Amino acid sequence: TQLLEQSPQFLSIQEGENLTVYCNSSSVFSSLQWYRQEPGEGPVLLVTVVTGGEVKKLKRLTFQFGDARKDSSLHITAAQPGDTGLYLCAGGEHSWGKLQFGAGTQVVVTP
Amino acid sequence: KAGVTQTPRYLIKTRGQQVTLSCSPISGHRSVSWYQQTPGQGLQFLFEYFSETQRNKGNFPGRFSGRQFSNSRSEMNVSTLELGDSALYLCASSLVVREDTEAFFGQGTRLTVV
């Protein structure tokens, strides 16, 4: 079983600060996806990375996929209260339909 | 366009009963996956259907089953409910089968077993 470990489990910061969330595995994934989930809602896909060393930017969010395709990071610049949520990483195997999720990082951004 | 629709949103059942949850994917999406989310275990894969065929299955007991209809709508069934089955059940749909295809999740069905 491929396991994804996310760190930290919980992050509380002030508006305007930066934060980084990590997702690590001992196994190689064909792709890695990041989601954000808010209470009472399903996860919403933020980005998918498939190439080792790939960096993607989505406004204030920067996603990186490790060269060996075993780890990833999500960096948020100048966090805003709207960034509050549960951030989940998920690894894709060659068959898309089965995603392996990390336990998630709960991010709280206070004004 | 309409998103993934899961019904019902909330459900309370008694131990030993059975339950059926429904998922309507986005129009045109043929792949539907189901996940169980609990505070202790996080999101765990249950099974995935594509064109009415189960292609992948997670490590859940046989009490958990599913099916997909010709219109891509999917149902999952849990028989002989246990207290530990209390969870948020999420369904995700996708247009095609590729690793980088975007997965759209529904709002989930919150199942409480008492």
pLDDT tens digits for range A45-59: 999 888 899 999 999
Answer whether A90 touches B (CB < 8 Å). yes
Per-residue model confidence (pLDDT) at position A51: 87
> Over pLDDT 90: what percentage of chain A?
72
Judge: B99–A31 Cβ closer than 8 Å, yes or no: yes
Per-residue model confidence (pLDDT) at position A17: 97
Judge: B101–A96 Cβ closer than 8 Å, yes or no: yes
A1 pLDDT exceeds 60?
Answer: no
From the candidates B90, B100, B105, which should be mutated to test the interface with A, based on the most A CB atoms within 10 A?
A: B100
Answer whether B48 touches A (CB < 8 Å). yes
Of B105, B88, B114, the residue nearest B31 (C-alpha): B105
- Top pLDDT among A91 and A92 is at A91
Confidence band for A28, pLDDT divided at 50, 70 and 90: confident
Per-residue model confidence (pLDDT) at position B101: 65
Per-residue model confidence (pLDDT) at position B1: 60
Judge: B33–A95 Cβ closer than 8 Å, yes or no: no
Strand ranges in chain B using DSSP code E only, listed in sequence order: 5-7, 10-13, 19-24, 31-38, 42-50, 53-57, 64-68, 74-78, 87-94, 104-105, 109-113
A21 pLDDT exceeds 80?
Answer: yes
A86: closest chain B residue by CA:
B42
The pLDDT mean for chain A works out to: 91
The CA distance from B25 to B103, in Å, is 11
- Top pLDDT among B101 and B113 is at B113
B31: closest chain A residue by CA:
A97
- Top pLDDT among B101 and A36 is at A36
Answer whether B76 touches A (CB < 8 Å). no
Is residue A84 exposed (0-12), middle (13-18) or buried (19+ Cβ within 10 Å)? middle
Q: Please report the residues numbered 92 through 111 in chain B whose beta carbons come closer than 8 angstroms to any beta carbon of chain A.
A: 92, 94, 97-108
Nearest residue, CB atoms, B107 vs list A42, A93, A98: A42
Of A26, A92, A53, A3, the residue nearest B41 (C-alpha): A3
Using a CB-CB distance cutoff of 8 angstroms, which residues of chain A are in contact with residue B105? 35, 42-44
**Cis bond upstream, residue A8 (ω within 30):** yes
Nearest-5° angle of CA B62, CA B14, CA B66?
30
Across A2-6, A19-23, A24-28, B104-108, least confident range: A2-6
B20 pLDDT exceeds 80?
Answer: yes
Average pLDDT over every residue of B1-13: 92
B54: closest chain A residue by CA:
A97
- Top pLDDT among B99 and A87 is at A87
Using a CB-CB distance cutoff of 8 angstroms, which residues of chain A are in contact with residue B58? 98
pLDDT tens digits for range B41-97: 899 999 999 999 998 899 999 999 999 999 999 999 999 999 999 999 999 998 766
DSSP B63-81: TEEEEE-TTS-EEEEE-S-
The CA distance from A14 to A20, in Å, is 14
Per-residue model confidence (pLDDT) at position A98: 78
